[in-house]
Amino acid sequence: MKKTLTTLYDVAEHLRTPEEIAAYLEACFEEADGDACFIAKALGDIARARGMTQIAKDSGLSRESLYKALSGERTPSFETVLRVLSALGLKLRAIPI
C-alpha cells in the first residue's frame, strides 16, 4: 500500500491582501454559529499573517496576551477583539439578516 504524504496547512500563509483577510474573517463569522472562540482563532490566524509583534504594538497589548487571547482556547474580551480589529485595519459592521 502506498503511503500518502501530507503537510500541515497554515491559513496564515495564504492571507496576503486586505481583501483576502476580510473574506476569510467574513467566512469565519458565517461559519462560527455564535462560537466566540472560533472567531478568536480566526483573528489569531490573521494576526499571525500580519505579524503578531506589530499587531501587539498597534493594539497596545502584549504579544503573549495576544497569543493567549487569540488561541481559540478562550474567549477574549470584546475590548480585546475591538483593539485587534483596529490594529488589523478592519472594522466591525452590523447588517440586517
Condensed to tens digits (0 to 9), the pLDDT of residues 27-79 reads 999 999 989 999 999 999 999 999 999 999 999 999 999 999 999 999 999 99
Could you tell me the three cell numbers for 40? 478568536
Three-state DSSP state, 50? helix
Residue 97 lies in a domain: no
* Contact present, 44 and 71 (Cβ < 8 Å): yes
Residue 54 lies in a domain: yes
Total structural domains within the chain: 1
**In terms of pTM, does the model score above 0.75?**
yes
Q: Domain residues for 27? A: 18-87
Residue 3 lies in a domain: no
Residue 25: predicted pLDDT? 95
The residues, any chain, with a CB within 8 Å of residue 17's CB and separated by 6 or more, are none
Confidence of residue 17 (pLDDT cuts 50, 70, 90): very high
Residue 11 lies in a domain: no
Residue 9 lies in a domain: no
Q: Which long-range contacts (C-beta less than 8 Å, at least 24 apart) are formed by 60-69? A: 69/40
Residue written as grid cell 502584549: 62
